[in-house]
Amino acid sequence: MALYPKPPEGSWTEHYADVGTGVVSYEDCISPEFYEVEREAIFKRAWLNVGRVEDLPRKGTYFTREIEVAKTSIIVVRDLEGQVRAFHNICRHRGNKLMWNDFPREETKGSCRAFTCKYHGWRYALDGSCTFVQQESEFFNLDKTDYGLAPVHCEVWAGFVFVNLAQEPSQSLREFLGPMISALDGYPFGRMTERYDFRADVNCNWKVFLDAFQEYYHVPVLHSQEATPAARPKMNGFEAPHYQLDGPHRMVSTSSVPRRLWPADYQYPIEIATRSGLFGPWDEPDLGEALPGTNPGGVRKWSMDNFQIFPNTEILIWANGWYLTYRYWPTSYNTHRFDGTLFFPPATTASQRAANECAVVMFKEFALQDAGTLVGTQRALESRAARDDFPLNDQELLVRHFHKSVADWVEEYEHKIVGV
Ligand code: FES
Ligand SMILES: [Fe+2]
**How large is the average pLDDT for residues 79-97?**
98
* Geometric angle at alpha carbon 398, from 343 and 52, rounded to 5°: 25
**How large is the average pLDDT for residues 206-217?**
95
**Who contacts 92 (Cβ-Cβ below 8 Å, separation ≥6)?**
122, 130, 147, 148, 149, 150
Mutate to test the pocket of ligand 1, among 75, 116, 119 (most ligand atoms within 8 A of CB): 119
Please tell me the predicted confidence (pLDDT) of residue 420: 65
Please tell me the predicted confidence (pLDDT) of residue 257: 82
**How large is the average pLDDT for residues 260-276?**
83
**Is the confidence at residue 87, as pLDDT, over 60?**
yes
**Is the confidence at residue 395, as pLDDT, over 70?**
yes
Mutate to test the pocket of ligand 1, among 89, 100, 117 (most ligand atoms within 8 A of CB): 117
Q: How far is the CA of 117 from the centre of ligand 1 (A)?
A: 6
Please tell me the predicted confidence (pLDDT) of residue 2: 39
DSSP code at position 149: P
- Residues 122-161 have pLDDT tens digits of 999 999 999 999 999 999 999 999 999 999 999 999 999 9
* Contact (CB, 8 A) for 259 and 362: no
- Residues 155-201 have pLDDT tens digits of 999 999 999 999 999 999 999 999 999 999 999 999 999 999 999 99
Q: 328: part of which helix (H) or strand (E)?
A: strand 322-332
Please tell me the predicted confidence (pLDDT) of residue 358: 96
**How large is the average pLDDT for residues 70-76?**
98
* Residues above pLDDT 90, as percent of the chain: 81
Please tell me the predicted confidence (pLDDT) of residue 54: 97
**Is the confidence at residue 249, as pLDDT, over 50?**
yes
**Is the confidence at residue 240, as pLDDT, over 70?**
yes
**How large is the average pLDDT for residues 23-46?**
98
Please tell me the predicted confidence (pLDDT) of residue 195: 97
Q: State the average pLDDT for the chain.
A: 93
Find out whether the beta carbon of 234 lies less than 6 Å from any atom of ligand 1: no
Q: How far apart are CA 360 and CA 379, in angstroms?
A: 30
The CATH architecture annotation of domain 12-43+179-418 reads Alpha-Beta Complex (3.90)
Among the residue ranges 30-39, 40-49, 226-235, 348-357, the one predicted with the least confidence is 226-235
Cβ-count burial 117-133 (b if 16+ within 10 Å, e if not): beeeebbbbbbbebeeb
Domain locations in the chain as residue ranges: 12-43+179-418, 48-164
Q: 63: part of which helix (H) or strand (E)?
A: strand 61-67
Mutate to test the pocket of ligand 1, among 122, 131, 138 (most ligand atoms within 8 A of CB): 122
Please tell me the predicted confidence (pLDDT) of residue 3: 43
**Is the confidence at residue 228, as pLDDT, over 80?**
no
* Burial of residue 267, with CB atoms counted within 10 A of its CB: 0-12 exposed, 13-18 middle, 19 or more buried: middle
Q: How far is the CA of 90 from the centre of ligand 1 (A)?
A: 9
* Residues above pLDDT 70, as percent of the chain: 95
Which CATH code fits 48-164? 2.102.10.10
**Is the confidence at residue 252, as pLDDT, over 90?**
yes
Find out whether the beta carbon of 115 lies less than 6 Å from any atom of ligand 1: no
Rounded to a whole number, what is the largest CA-CA distance in the chain? 79
**Is the confidence at residue 81, as pLDDT, over 80?**
yes
Find out whether the beta carbon of 117 lies less than 6 Å from any atom of ligand 1: yes
Q: Return left, alpha or beta for 158; rule: phi > 0 is left, psi -120 to 50 is alpha, else beta.
A: left
- Residues 318-377 have pLDDT tens digits of 999 999 999 999 999 999 999 999 999 999 999 999 999 999 999 998 888 889 899 999
Please tell me the predicted confidence (pLDDT) of residue 4: 45
Residue nearest to atom 1 of ligand 1 (CA): 94
Give the full edge-to-edge strand order of the sheet including 123-124.
115-116, 123-124, 130-132
Give the position, in ligand 1's atom list, of the atom nearest the Cα of 91.
2
Find out whether the beta carbon of 133 lies less than 6 Å from any atom of ligand 1: no
